[in-house]
Amino acid sequence: CSVPCKVFQDELGDLCRREKLYCKDLGVNKSNINDYEVEFLCDYKKTKDAELYMVKWKGYPESENSWEPKKNLKCPKLMKQFHLDLDQVLRRRKGSSIPRRLRKETVSLLTQKAKLHLSLQRWEAHLNQTRNHPGRIFVRNEVDLEGPPKNFTYINNYRVGPGIVLDEMAVGCECSSCWEEPVNGCCPGASLHRMAYNEKGQVRLRPGKPIYECNSQCKCGPECPNRVVQKGIQFDLCIFKTDNGRGWGVRTLQHIKKNTFVMEYVGEIISTDEAERRGHVYDRQGSTYLFDLDYVEDVYTVDAAHQGNVSHFVNHSVSVSSQLLGVGGGS
């Protein structure tokens, strides 16, 4: 059982420091409880003698913010991010050079952006702590001030909805090597189909043909070449805010060869009747995350609206870059 994350671990550490509480698990102890760490920079001014930055201290309220000279700050990444945000704000307001003092509206926007970066970093860390696949997840929003989605839980495997009972695989293959010595055509052969993958794990079937992978009843192990989807996401992917008003999208951070598996559409498995009911609700909201699960007959549907993986954020592209295929088998 899992629920959406309410408070991130570093936020608990901040709370301990604020309340002067020691916590071994969070690494807050007597020697570091009063340590000052820069959380973000939110203002800037230039005097005759120095450049000064307004510092928000980690674990302390904004009422404790203070001006600090540039020479005292040892946070190059935060300083770089501050100036990137400042340049973006000034460009939008048709300003080119940095003024000696910033306007209140600019400071307010910079503070909101800094808080956004923090929330997205925490969410990114949470996603990577939760995932069970090799591919890492990155999160970026350089468009607006929208933070992590609310009421969404990242899951790695399908969740079975109320009243749903899934049949377990009855039989599996007896192959000692599914690729080199398939017995009776391995699992695809049992369904009168051919092996879906080539020796590199790339799909070699025509679009529309189902894929049958080996399952939990098979003699072969987890490294079987006919268990591609089961090995999970292999590439680093980035959840990013689109600049065309389409919400969130997903892009790869690595080159992916044609016909290579990218991700599985994971969510809650529900009946078609429940999908019909939810579909009316989603239509009124202007979005849907429903996909029919079965290849021959629509018995079940996957709903990734509130529980899902990276695929929840995939958006439509002007030029088609991926294709949805049905896969049977698995664990």
**How far, in Å, CA of 131 to CA of 149, rounded?**
17
- Bridge partners for 20 per DSSP: none
Nearest Cα neighbor of 230 from 188, 176, 266, 194 is 266
Known binding residue 224? Answer is yes
Cβ distance 189 to 181 under 8 Å? Answer: no
Residue 149 CA, distance from chain mean position? 10
Known binding residue 16? Answer is no
- Residue 252, token pair as written in the block: 């790869």
Beta strands of the chain (E only): which ranges?
A: 38-46, 51-57, 66-69, 137-140, 153-154, 159-160, 211-215, 237-241, 248-252, 268-271, 290-292, 300-303, 307-308, 327-330
- Residue 6, token pair as written in the block: 């309410």
**Among the residues of the chain, which ranges form H helices?**
9-18, 76-92, 104-130, 186-190, 272-285
Known binding residue 75? Answer is no
**How far, in Å, CA of 168 to CA of 203, rounded?**
25
Known binding residue 187? Answer is yes
**How far, in Å, CA of 307 to CA of 309, rounded?**
7
Known binding residue 220? Answer is yes
- Bridge partners for 290 per DSSP: 303
List, as residue ranges, the binding site for Zn(2+): 173, 175, 178, 186-187, 214, 218, 220, 224
List, as residue ranges, the binding site: 173, 175, 178, 186-187, 214, 218, 220, 224
